[in-house]
Amino acid sequence: MAGYDLEKMLVVGVASSALFDLSAADAVFKKDGEDRYREYQEEHIAEPLKPGVAFAFIQRLLSLNDLSEDGHPLVEVIVLSRNDPETGLRVMRSIAHHGLGISRAIFMQGRSPYAYMGALNMSLFLSQNERDVRVALEMGFAAGQVVGTPAADSNGSDLRIAFDFDGVLADDSSERVMQSDGLPAFHAHETEHLEEPLPEGRLSEFLRGVNRIQDIEERRSAAEASYNRRVHVAIVTARNAPSHERVIRTLQSWGVRVNDAFFLGGIEKAKVLRVLKPHIFFDDQLKHLQEAADEVPSVHVPFGVINEAKDT
């Protein structure tokens, strides 16, 4: 019997802390310890957990499986949890209650399972645990810490994803120029290296997987004039002219694409994000996420020179 093949799927790992609001249970753990925490989870096992920051993103991502052209899933989401199997029962019951198409999980008591990302072909891991996220990034995986609030809109089938560019989709080599030499030098550097694609960052492979689903939508749209594309991808970056062109040339060289690009040049990202209303926004600078944290479910990718400076 052949195994369940993840190689052609977009695979995302999500910690229970990113998928659900575990604040009440966490408060019990911090106040009274692990034994009381286990009792609390058992006492409330029939009480479904409320949606967390990544819930709407995961829900809508899984809904794209109905676009499959051959009956095989396009998206697989696997729970990666520090809970032990017993306390994880409430998480799995909550998944069933909310009708999420998640049936696979790894529960490792007190330890993070991010080391299994490679074995499971994951292109993204979301968690509320900053330490786990940082170590996963150091290991070369794509990971982010959820911040902000769950998406407000519960209806609809579209999925809006927004990315910062440097330190998220691309590496931080240009950002290092910015931090060391300032904005004029940054623009001069990007103009000089216009035709030189930037190296891929941690989340480029995730975007590539999203693009594969968008390819299916393109074919569907060509066959059905009334079909409305459900997946929308945007870049929201502090870059502006003349450094904008290298972004576009780099994406072309990677063979990936986005639907929209916002080159804001110092304009507060929150102003745009509140209009765009992404179901998830990825940025390597926490300050950009905090500005819109009251409305936008976001992910901090603590990668690169900006986050190295934070540690020192």
pLDDT of 2 reads 55
Tell me the Ramachandran region of residue 151: left when phi exceeds 0, alpha when psi lies from -120 to 50, beta otherwise.
beta
pLDDT of 312 reads 41
CA distance linking residue 77 with residue 127, whole number of Å: 13
pLDDT of 28 reads 84
CA distance linking residue 243 with residue 191, whole number of Å: 6
Residue 157 token pair: 């089938």
Residues whose CB falls within 8 Å of the CB of residue 119, separated by 6 or more in sequence, listed in order = none
pLDDT of 4 reads 83
Residues whose CB falls within 8 Å of the CB of residue 226, separated by 6 or more in sequence, listed in order = none
Active site residues: 164
Domain boundaries defined on the chain: 10-147, 159-311
CA distance linking residue 92 with residue 85, whole number of Å: 10
Which of 293, 280, 218 lies closest to 59 in space, CA to CA?
280
Helix, strand, or coil (residue 66): helix
- Block means of pLDDT (10 residues each) for the chain, 312 residues, are 79 95 85 83 91 95 94 95 86 96 91 87 95 94 92 79 97 92 90 94 97 97 93 96 95 97 94 94 92 90 84 44
Q: Are 129 and 82 in contact (CB under 8 A)?
A: yes
Query: Which helix (H) or strand (E) element contains residue 307?
Result: helix 305-311
Work out whether strand 260-263 and strand 231-237 pair parallel, antiparallel, or are unpaired: parallel
The hierarchical CATH code for the domain 159-311 is 3.40.50.1000
CATH class, domain 10-147, is: alpha beta
Give yes or no on whether 10-147 and 159-311 have one common fold.
yes
Which of 64, 99, 95 lies closest to 78 in space, CA to CA?
95
Q: Are 80 and 54 in contact (CB under 8 A)?
A: no
Q: Which residues make beta-bridge pairs with 263?
A: 237
- The DSSP result for 248-306, as a single string, is HHHHHHHT---SEEEE-TTS-HHHHHHHH--SEEEES-HHHHHTTTTT--EEE---SHH
Query: Which helix (H) or strand (E) element contains residue 3?
Result: none
